[in-house]
Structure 1
Amino acid sequence: MKAETTVIRAILAGTALVAAAGTAAAQEVNLYTSREPGLVEPLLQAFTESTGIAVNTVFLKDGLVERLASEGESSPADVLMAVDVGNLVDLVERDLTQPVESEVLSAAIPENLRDPGNEWFALSMRARVVYAANDVEIDSITYEDLADPEWKGRICIRSGQHPYNTALFSAFMAHHDAAETEAWLTGLKDNLARKAGGGDRDGAKDILGGICDIAIANSYYVGLMRSGRGGDEQKAWGEAIKVILPTFEDGGTHVNVSGAAVAKNAPNRDQAVQLLEFLVSDEAQKIYGEANYEYPVKPGAAIDPIIASIGELKVDPVPLTEIVTNRKQASELVDRVGFDN
């Protein structure tokens, strides 16, 4: 058995994951996803109710690329769903996806949030925001400001090598050159109140505990904390902070995405495209917000009230594909400045 835990669930009673391409029933689609079951299942149930198409789902904690590569042309996968744009780009670079020409997807998803060759599509967003103690006099900030000596000993953040942060640092490089990015990372490290580490919610916890005044974290954790979904302790963390949407000096707020692609050898291609198109519908975009407090990618779609209360999100216009090209260099700069030391 493989090291990763694989859970196979049938969304419609009586369906089963097909073992090889070409044997699937006409009205089913096979999904491989690294997203948590609790986040995905409400979307898939709604899709089946709307279309009558059964969704057979393989939940993979990790190893999605390796799984597909090992299955080769006989893979039963139709749709590939992942978190973090880097994972989506990896699928394309390994030649595991195929292009999809869809007016529905093109109309719903802004150009900077999808692959130029239409091989992957963002489906939901999370913003990299700033949590601030309620008594800190601040109502706006740029990412560049985070290296200002004003914040020396006042910032909390998780590991610089975590994908959430390497994506942010890669986005910084899309606005500044490598030397400027290295100087900024050095300044940000000098401003840390504690060693980089923990999770995003730990930033809010440490603000409440007086360890830091601001923290860099993802927007959806605000919903998970303030809603009480994580328990009373985390609700207290969420209530101890105010949330600011930073921007780059010449841009907008950095976002990362969850997204999906159609597998290169999809045996049920038409149904796969139908699933992707459903996932950018108003109904599905609303579910994304309710399930995990994520931002919809479709302009005008409903946003959960907790997340909407943060303020208007103005997404940085730099294409995600451009940001991803900086990942390796950004990771090297993290090590060079000893960010996690």
Structure 2
Amino acid sequence: MSRLLAGILVLGVVLAVIVGSQMGSNETATPTVTPLELNIYSARHYDTDLALYDKFTEETGIAINLIEGDSDELIARIEREGAQSPADLLITVDAGRLWRAEEKGLFQAVVSETLETRIPEHLRHPDGLWFGLSKRARIIIYNKAKGRPEKLETYADLADPLHKGEICMRSSSNIYNLSLLAATIEHRGTEEAENWAKGVVANFAREPQGNDTGNIQAVAAGECRISLANTYYVGRLMGSGNAGDRTVADAVELVFPDQEGNGTHVNIGGAGVLVHAPNRANAVRFIEFLTSDWAQRAFSEQNHEYAVVPGVEIDTPLNAFTFREDALNASALGRNQPEAVRIFDRAGWK
């Protein structure tokens, strides 16, 4: 081999070693950059939430990619996507639906001093799997023109034969009713909960139907005298720009039940970070943002929900009502859901 050829071969080997070394060094030295995006699957369909997303992006530079849908459909989708799911965060309404995702192992635990300080213990999962971000009370309403019915201070009173033929309700499959019965199971036991459900069924003025707004309208129109509704539905009617809606709100009175007992049943809209979240840090940051005073006021003033963070000053028609809420941990609303379904079935609450 000539000296020239041997020299070229040696030079080639040296260059290959240097280049390979530099490539390895560069790959090792390249910092990991957190993508400025967050993928949210949400079952909340409120303009309020769009404003929250825009504000978060404005403050952080983190772009939000949003997919909306029915809670159960989104949970099924996340389950199908598995480890390849792009979803970072599931937002939904009602602790019962958060429990459904929890049971399928879709959430990961989050430890956050901000969340543990800002959100009361009973409005978040004991192990940090999900967090309540807004709340609503499930209250009794009655027809104002007919006057306040006798014995109507507690949820238990709805089962009293005094109210036979006076109550209209929505379906037992509705998550709000399931959660109320789940709370009843936790407080009073299965037997008393079933007796209550049977008593309410015996007092129906009609077959269960409609939604909360429809039942408020039915009470206002005198089709029945008593019903249950979440406070934010009443708040929307009270604060509506439509005169007809305000007329409906004016035709009903509100009872916040169990003020001498466990307190009025409350439920939550909440969120959990998903187990395969590709942007976990951004998801936690967003949940923390939703506990800010600004975000809590947005939930309350724009959608008539209650703030979960104590002490946040809000301006809403619901301010006219003060009440003591049930401090039962919201996780019980999911844990007792299967038994609530069975009780409703046995009671004939369709």
TM-score, normalising length from structure 1? 0.87
Structure ID, larger Rg: 2
The match for 1:286 is 297
The match for 2:44 is 35
The percent of aligned pairs where both chains have the same amino acid is 39
Q: Which residue, out of 249, 261, 268, partners 1:250?
A: 261
- Unmatched tracts of structure 1, length 5 or more: 1-22
Q: Give the deviation of 1:68 after TM superposition.
A: 1.1
1:334 aligns with 2:344: yes
1:143 aligns with 2:155: yes
**Aligned equivalents of 2:51 and 2:81: distance in 1?**
28
Partner AA of 1:42 in structure 2: A
Give CA deviations for 1:189-243 in whole Å, capped at 9, x if unaligned: 12222222111122222222222222111110112112225x3333221111111
The match for 2:134 is 124
The match for 2:171 is 159
The match for 1:10 is none
Does the Cα contact within 8 Å between 1:119 and 1:262 map onto a contact in 2? yes
**Aligned equivalents of 2:348 and 2:233: distance in 1?**
27
Identify the range of structure 1 (325-334 vs 296-305) with the bigger mean alpha-carbon deviation.
Answer: 296-305
Give CA deviations for 1:241-278 in whole Å, capped at 9, x if unaligned: 11121127630111111100111121211111110000
**After superposition, where does 1:310-325 map in structure 2 within 5 Å?**
311-325=321-335
Q: Give the deviation of 1:140 after TM superposition.
A: 6.4
Does the Cα contact within 8 Å between 2:135 and 2:266 map onto a contact in 1? yes
**Aligned equivalents of 1:100 and 1:171: distance in 2?**
25
**Aligned equivalents of 1:302 and 1:212: distance in 2?**
36
Partner AA of 1:141 in structure 2: E
1:45 aligns with 2:57: no
1:210 aligns with 2:210: no
The match for 2:28 is none
Does the Cα contact within 8 Å between 1:204 and 1:240 map onto a contact in 2? no
The match for 1:16 is none
Give CA deviations for 1:285-309 in whole Å, capped at 9, x if unaligned: 0011123111111111234421111
Q: Between Structure 1 and Structure 2, how many residues are aligned?
A: 316
The match for 1:196 is 208
**Aligned equivalents of 1:186 and 1:91: distance in 2?**
30
Identify the range of structure 1 (220-229 vs 118-127) with the bigger mean alpha-carbon deviation.
Answer: 220-229
Coordinate RMSD, CA, aligned: 2.0
Does the Cα contact within 8 Å between 1:35 and 1:81 map onto a contact in 2? yes
CA separation of 1:132/1:112 partners in 2, compared to 1, >3 Å: closer, same or farther?
same
Q: Give the deviation of 1:111 after TM superposition.
A: 0.8
**Aligned equivalents of 1:190 and 1:304: distance in 2?**
40
Give CA deviations for 1:64-119 in whole Å, capped at 9, x if unaligned: 12211222212221111111112212222212111111111011111111111101
**Aligned equivalents of 1:294 and 1:339: distance in 2?**
28
The match for 1:75 is 85
The match for 2:65 is 56
Does the Cα contact within 8 Å between 2:259 and 2:323 map onto a contact in 1? no
**Aligned equivalents of 1:307 and 1:53: distance in 2?**
34
Q: Aligned to 2:192, what secondary structure does the other structure show?
A: helix
The match for 1:220 is 232
Does the Cα contact within 8 Å between 2:216 and 2:248 map onto a contact in 1? yes
- Unmatched tracts of structure 2, length 5 or more: 1-31
Does the Cα contact within 8 Å between 2:91 and 2:272 map onto a contact in 1? yes
Question: By percentage of residues, which structure has more helix?
Answer: 2
Q: Give the deviation of 1:38 after TM superposition.
A: 2.0
Q: Aligned to 1:129, what secondary structure does the other structure show?
A: strand
Q: Give the deviation of 1:37 after TM superposition.
A: 4.9
Q: Give the deviation of 1:24 after TM superposition.
A: 8.9
